[in-house]
Amino acid sequence: MAGARRPGRNFLFVPGPTNVPDRILRAMHVAMEDHRSPDFPKLTLPLFEDLKKIFKTKDGQVVIYPSSGTGAWESALTNTRSPGDKLLAARFGQFSHLWIDLARRHGLEIIVQEEEWGTGASPERIEEALREDKDHAIKGVMVVHNETATGVTSDVAAVRRAIDAAKHPALLYVDGVSSIGSIDFRMDEWGVDLAITGSQKGLMLPAGLGIVCASQKALAAMKDAKCRRAYFEFTDHMKANATGYFPYTPALPLLHGLRESIAILQEEGLDNVFARHRHLAVGARAAVKAWGLKLCAKEPKWHSDTVSAIMVPQGFNGADVIDRAYRRYNLAIGAGLSQMAGKLFRIGHLGDLNELMLLGAIAGAEMAMNDVGIEVELGSGVGAAQAQFRRNAALKETKVAAE
């Protein structure tokens, strides 16, 4: 149809999938190969070891599935649990809700701690529940580290301290889909037993890889686990992975992309990656404040460095802002989900991203809000973010000079 072409690039600022760097796109542009060949382990064996560095674990074991993060959820639970097992889970957003639903479909009994959306997991309530569990009937604690539906990050280290304070043997299951590779995550230091992520967030790949890292304690739990599994069976994978192969055909281009993704993260340095995400998030939050709007996150301690969920004023629908941003300005921003449908829009600021890219999204959001009648001053959010970015850059330069 004449006139249908939209010039320029789509500005992708949902909280995942994220922008795929050109380097990764080129790395994935490969001819198909024999995944049983003698050379194949040269690609795969380093992946397992380097992913452990991303998870920050020495003793954990990594499994890579052709799946989304949901498959990693299922794998972590079914390989370590039996039908009827009790798990404690905090529910404070759409993705914590969906993980709970998945667990229940596998016959697991989930004790749900409801938290207000806009807050996160409560270490105090978790400790209290575990102290009351004198017979240790609760076999695990499930926590979503970064809840993208509400822009909330929970304190996983504090949850581990709560489990330890209660002197409870429960395994700690953590969804790190939108945090690992973007927000500081320390599997060994925090005593995480099952950590889960996907390829389409901080790893900067297309969706298609579900990744699980299991502690030695989690691997020991496998021997008594009775949940049914086939495709997601840890044992099949670990046996084949030991020599660099897979029990079935892997997602070959994505593995090549993962090799390049890890190289990019290593070149920047994980601590620098986390600092960059914090830097960008602070700029986004400055824009929201300048607009006179509020985040869904109730307090600064809950602020996510990978996504800002921005409440629209009463009487307006966040879906209208999203629709206008996409149709008029070729900007993709995230929708409110479930309880938050229509109440907010989300700007994802994770992955391969810099200040000028984020400023484009902030500018587009300002225009879209004005178009639907939300009175924010054009340029106010952009200016506030610019000022914040410049302050941060000046402070960094001063610190480097002092060193």
Concatenated DSSP letters for 10-27?
A: -EEESSSS-PPPHHHHHH
- The residue among 273, 295, 277, 276 whose CA lies nearest residue 286 is 295
pTM, whole model, 2 decimals? 0.96
Position 397, amino acid: E
Tell me the CATH architecture of domain 23-266: 3-Layer(aba) Sandwich (3.40)
Which long-range contacts does 289-294 make (Cβ < 8 Å, 24+ apart)?
289/384, 290/377, 290/380, 290/381, 290/383, 290/384, 291/366, 291/369, 291/376, 291/377, 291/380, 291/381, 292/376, 293/376
- pLDDT per residue as tens, the chain (403 positions): 455 677 888 999 999 999 999 999 999 999 999 999 999 999 999 999 999 999 999 999 999 999 999 999 999 999 999 999 999 999 999 999 999 999 999 999 999 999 999 999 999 999 999 999 999 999 999 999 999 999 999 999 999 999 999 999 999 999 999 999 999 999 999 999 999 999 999 999 999 999 999 999 999 999 999 999 999 999 999 999 999 999 999 999 999 999 999 999 999 999 999 999 999 999 999 999 999 999 999 999 999 999 999 999 999 999 999 999 999 999 999 999 999 999 999 999 999 999 999 999 999 999 999 999 999 999 999 999 999 999 988 777 777 666 6
* Alpha-carbon gap, residue 182 to 147, rounded angstroms: 13
Position 332, amino acid: A
CATH 3.90.1150.10 assigned to 11-17+270-402: yes
Listed by start position, the domains of the chain span: 11-17+270-402, 23-266
- Which of helix, strand or coil describes residue 162? helix
* Alpha-carbon gap, residue 310 to 3, rounded angstroms: 33
